[in-house]
Structure 1
Amino acid sequence: MGENQQPTPFHPDQVRVSHDEREAVVERLNTAAAEGRLDFIELEARLDRALNAKTYADLAPLTADLPPEIAVEPLVLKGGMNGAARTGRWQVPAQITVYGGMGSVKLDFTQTQCRLPEIAIEVHGQTGGVTIIIPDGWVAETSEMNPGLGGFRDKTTSERLSGTPRIRLVGSGGSGGVVIRHPNSWERRMQRRGGV
């Protein structure tokens, strides 16, 4: 190599991919099949290639002919004096910040259609407290939660269904406390009736 020659740069496509990155492509392919963009044979072939991908160069062609996913802006929800709630069918972003305020906040994911592999929620119970309800099959990573004076309760199970998000919860219970749980029996009945 002469004096002026630069070493060949390492191409980003050759960087190794992680399990989560493979899983995100698998989710994208399953969504495309559900929308009718891929037939069963194409889906099976692409899933096999995604699960065995080693580098970005292996993964990129698998979704190159699919429309880009629309990113949802981060959500900030504040309880204020009267409280706040996000319930029913709503578009879930990858990042959510919740402040319980004086009136409390309820964040209910049970009727949402979410394809994200992970949702990061920063929660501050403040005085009113915060309740987060996630569907059965979703899991929560809560080891970084500070209970504060009001406490923190994780009533979720650790059984994660394939294709469901992981909730990564950080923050503090404040004086009002924070609870994350699955739907209770009344909420399940209302869901079956199409209420809530």
Structure 2
Amino acid sequence: MTLPQENPARPVSEDDRNTAVRRVQEAYAEGHLSHDEMDDRLQRVLIAKTYGDLEPVLASLPEEAAGTTSTIGALGGRIKRRGAWRVPRTLKVESAFGSVRLDLSRAVFEHPAVDIDLQVGTGRAKITVPRDAVVDVDGLHTGWKDLRYKAPRSSGPGGPRIRISGTMGYGRLKIRHARR
């Protein structure tokens, strides 16, 4: 997120706040901040009202790498990714009618945390995550059908953190951990 220098009084949007929180968390995960610094900065991000309030919080953090967001979409039909594909920092999946199948079990993770934003109208989605992944589905809203995900009793250390958010309209999302 680049802050507009010409208007620091502009109100912070929810997307901007979420991006700032993600940048602070990534800086902590990469060792740029101590735990106390992260807590302090997250608190300041959450109470920020304007871009001017966010600027000092984010000023010393590393910039987000370009090309860390990818979008795959289809009006109808299938969206399918499997094998050893590179997972971007943020993956946006948009499907109006059809099915989504993401197999992350052999995917290459270049970031410790990955955000998957699902925007699925009608259809179902299935996501297979690595065995040691930590999955967070708190940001996902389901409409007609429910979410099928059972977190494992324990995840191994060092696995990627996968945050799934967005909206599932009239379909079911099934998330499972790979067995291998």
* Superposed displacement of residue 99, structure 1: 2.2
Alignment length (residue pairs): 133
**CA 1:22–1:129: 2 relative to 1, 3 Å:** same
Gaps of 5+ in 2: 1-23, 38-63
Which residue is 1:93 aligned to?
A: 88
RMSD between superposed Cα atoms in Å: 3.0
Q: Pairwise mapping of residues 98-113 of structure 1 onto structure 2 (< 5 A)?
A: 98-113=93-108
CA–CA distance in 2 between the matches of 1:21 and 1:151? 34
Task: Note if 1:24 corresponds to 2:19.
Answer: no
**CA 1:161–1:150: 2 relative to 1, 3 Å:** same
Amino acid at match of 1:119: V
Which residue is 2:12 aligned to?
A: none
CA–CA distance in 2 between the matches of 1:51 and 1:129? 39
Identity of aligned residues (%): 27
Helix, strand or coil: the match of 1:21? helix
CA–CA distance in 1 between the matches of 2:176 and 2:151? 5
Task: Note if 1:173 corresponds to 2:179.
Answer: no
- From 87, 109, 134, the counterpart of 1:114: 109
Greater gyration radius: 1
**CA 1:157–1:53: 2 relative to 1, 3 Å:** closer
CA–CA distance in 2 between the matches of 1:113 and 1:149? 33
Q: Pairwise mapping of residues 42-81 of structure 1 onto structure 2 (< 5 A)?
A: 72-81=67-76
Q: TM-score, normalised by structure 2?
A: 0.61
More strand by share: 2
